[in-house]
Amino acid sequence: MVSRLKLQYCKIILATSLVWFLLDVVLLMYYTDCATHASVDCQNTNNNEKPVKKSEESLLQRILPKGLMGRPSMPGDMGKPVSIPADRLEESKDKFKIHQFNLVASDIMSLNRTLPDYRIPGCRNKKYPPVSKLPDTSVVIVFHNEAWSTLLRTIHSVINRSPPELLKEIILVDDASEHEELGEKLDAYLATLPVHCYVLRTEERTGLIRARLKGAAKSKGKVITFLDAHCEATEGWLEPLMAEIYHDRTSVACPIIDVISDDTFEYITGSDMTWGGFNWKLNFRWYPVPQRELDRRAGDRSQPVRTPTMAGGLFSIDRDYFYEVGSYDEGMDIWGAENLEMSFRVWMCGGKVLIVTCSRVGHVFRKTSPYSWPGGVAKIINHNTQRIVEVWMDEYKDFFYKINPGVKNTEYGDVSARKEFRENKQCKSFKWYLENIYPESQMPVEYHALGEIKNKQTGGCVDSMGRKSGEKVGLVHCHGMGGNQIFSYTSKQALQTDDVCLDVSAIGGPVKLFQCHGLGGNQKWEYSRETHELRHVNSNQCLGKASDADKEAPSIGPCDGSEGQKWTFSDMKM
Ligand code: UDP
Ligand code: MN
């Protein structure tokens, strides 16, 4: 998950934003990175072939990846993109929808594909405590209907690239998959591996949160390392994670999550300059690491980043600490929000969440979710999100519900046990978290107004239309449902909705959405309570209703005192 989630917004432009929250619902878009010995490798993902005998396989695995040097090159080796043979293009298109990635590409690659060493020099030369001192780990991988080749490549990459002393076992949790090959055939294959590797199966679909809890409960390692079922661990991935936990058992250690292309399976390195945050709707988002955190690490990119939130799918945590800090919220269903829940909880209850930049694991990021969401995506995400809001966000929950009124009506079950946990642990406030861990957050802590911006003449409201940075803002019927029509007029005089601000870069130009930079400039607006004008300071022009030429796009023009240039905020503190 990691990916995480990364709910992103549709490219579909809705004519009205009445149904703004349906954007989350309709499309789930994530944000929003061997051989060999031919007998093992080249069997690769031919699912009908019997696994090789244990003795041969063990030998091969033990000598990987060094022993791979001699094998003939295979598609995708060294992280390169796979090109699909012309006669299989049609098939690869057809099969894409099964897993929402290019299954044919994955299937023609080696299960033990080779990868370059992607670490920066500062990481390659880094000294860690000897493996005899580092904690060992159980790797827990949950999946629902995962493809054979991606699942097995995840497992092989872990075996091939982990010091055997540190790898206690690999526990798979099959969350009620319907694919036959993930049954006995998988058990038989795993029995041939040189590392203890077995499958637990849920009786019915439980979702990734409860599936991970099932795996964690059985784990015997000192540390639990969670991975998604479509990952590739790279050279030296494990030692830096274990070292962080060795130095501080309250550290939750996440690798950098690199991107494995959903189309070509090319391995594309992600930046070590991004960290995890969240937007107004509590969707996880990647943002640039701020200068403050770069300074704290004195410019040393091999030092872990103290990230406000984690993507959620890939991380290591001391096993005992996992339970001490409240494991997971069992009341959360299927997928989503558990990563923010854990991030808030760990920081607020005394731990830390780190992106360990010397550890890199690739993950296939998908644009759409391939599996079913019983009861509907919105219901599940809102349910999970509301559980965070109710338990962890204190007075900020009022703000959340104001901008996301649709979420409030979802049932979210009983959170009393989670509240009790927080109470007993004497965890800090959400205000403390925002001030100390995430001062860069977009939560409107200080603002003059928070609500709709209504045009006096047309009665319409400024509306982000769910559009992205660089696109025009809209002016449409006021729906009173919050969401894309809620703006904060910030203490820096920006007009902000979520993480974007109203921005104009040309005289008379259209009003666009841009990432808020907090520096005034083209994002500074002066509101007059007397004249009700919103003056764009740089151009000295006023915000006006949409022109006839472009009915739904407000623009700026010379201030003329007309009704079309008068605006009211629905909730003004000034
Ligand atoms: N998963 C699961 N049960 C579910 C939903 C997801 O076991 O009901 C697994 C899924 O197979 C994957 C992991 O949870 O291994 C994370 O899900 P996904 O990859 O869809 O999340 P993303 O990476 O997009 O955040
Ligand atoms: Mn995933």
User: What whole-number percentage of the chain has pLDDT above 70?
Assistant: 87
Give the nearest ligand 1 atom to 230 CA.
15
How far apart are the CA of 501 and the centre of ligand 2, in A? 31
User: For atom 19 of ligand 1, which residue has the closest CA?
Assistant: 1
What number does the ligand 1 atom closest to the CA of 211 have? Answer: 7
Ligand closest to the CA atom of residue 381:
1
Count of positions (residues) in the chain: 574
Q: Centre a 10 Å sphere on the Cβ of residue 237 and count the other Cβ atoms it contains.
A: 26
Tell me, what's the pLDDT at 205? Answer: 97
CA-closest residue to ligand 1 atom 22: 1
Mean pLDDT, to the nearest integer, of 64-77? 73
Choose between 175 and 509: higher pLDDT.
175
Residue 52, pLDDT above cutoff 60: no
Q: Which two tokens stand for residue 194?
A: 């040189």
Give the number of the atom of ligand 1 that is nearest the alpha carbon of residue 145: 11
Alpha-carbon distances, residue 199 vs 170, 186, 205, 211 (angstroms): 9, 8, 15, 11
Q: Any residues with Cβ below 6 Å from ligand 1, and which? A: 1-5, 30, 142-144, 146, 175, 205, 207-208, 211, 228-229, 313, 334-335, 366, 369, 371
| Residue with CA at minimum distance from ligand 1 atom 4 | 207
Cα gap 99→326, rounded to integer Å:
32
Q: How far is the CA of 121 from the centre of ligand 1 (A)?
A: 33
Q: Which ligand is nearest to the CA of 6?
A: 1
Ligand index nearest the alpha carbon of residue 212: 1
Q: How confident is the model at residue 53 (pLDDT cuts 50, 70, 90)?
A: very low
- Residue 33 contacts residue 269 (beta carbons within 8 Å): yes
Q: How far is residue 7's CA from residue 13's CA, in Å, rounded to a whole number?
A: 16
Q: What is the pLDDT of residues 292-347, one digit of tens each?
A: 999 999 999 999 999 999 999 999 999 999 999 999 999 999 999 999 999 999 99
Ligand 1 atom 11, closest CA: 143
Query: Quick one: 208 exposed, middle or buried, by C-beta within 10 A (0-12, 13-18, 19+)?
Result: buried
Q: In angstroms, rounded to a whole number, what is the distance separating the alpha carbons of residues 547 and 557?
A: 10
Global pTM reads 0.85
CA angle 368-374-380, nearest 5°? Answer: 75
Best mutation site among 33, 150, 172, 335 for ligand 1 pocket (most ligand atoms within 8 Å of CB): 335
Q: Is the pLDDT of residue 413 over 90?
A: yes
Checking if the pLDDT of 7 tops 80, the result is no
DSSP 361-379: EEEE--SS--S--TT-HHH
Q: Using the atom order of ligand 1, give the atom closest to the CA of residue 371.
A: 5
- The answer to whether residue 404 scores a pLDDT higher than 70 is yes
Sign of CA dihedral 431, 436, 442, 446: positive
71-93 as b/e, with b when 16 or more CB fall inside 10 Å? beebbbbebbebebeeeeeeebe
Q: SS3 sequence, 160-219?
A: HHCCHHHEEEEEEEECCCCCHHHCHHHHHHHHCCCCCEEEEECCCCCCHHHHHHHHHHHC
- Domains, the chain, in order of start with CATH, read 121-364 (3.90.550.10), 447-569 (2.80.10.50)
Query: Do the Cβ atoms of 3 and 286 come closer than 8 Å?
Result: no
CA-nearest residue, atom 23 of ligand 1: 1
Residue indicated by tokens 């770069």: 294
Q: How far apart are CA 186 and CA 192, in angstroms?
A: 10
> Which residue's alpha carbon is at the smallest distance from atom 16 of ligand 1?
1
Predicted confidence at residue 574, as pLDDT, reads 55
Which of the two residues, 62 and 572, has the higher pLDDT score?
Answer: 572
Those residues with Cβ within 8 angstroms of residue 387's Cβ, 6 or more apart along the chain or in another chain: 329, 331, 332, 337, 341, 412, 413, 415, 418
Half-sphere exposure of 486 (CA within 13 A, CB side): 23
Tokens at 106, concatenated: 């994955």
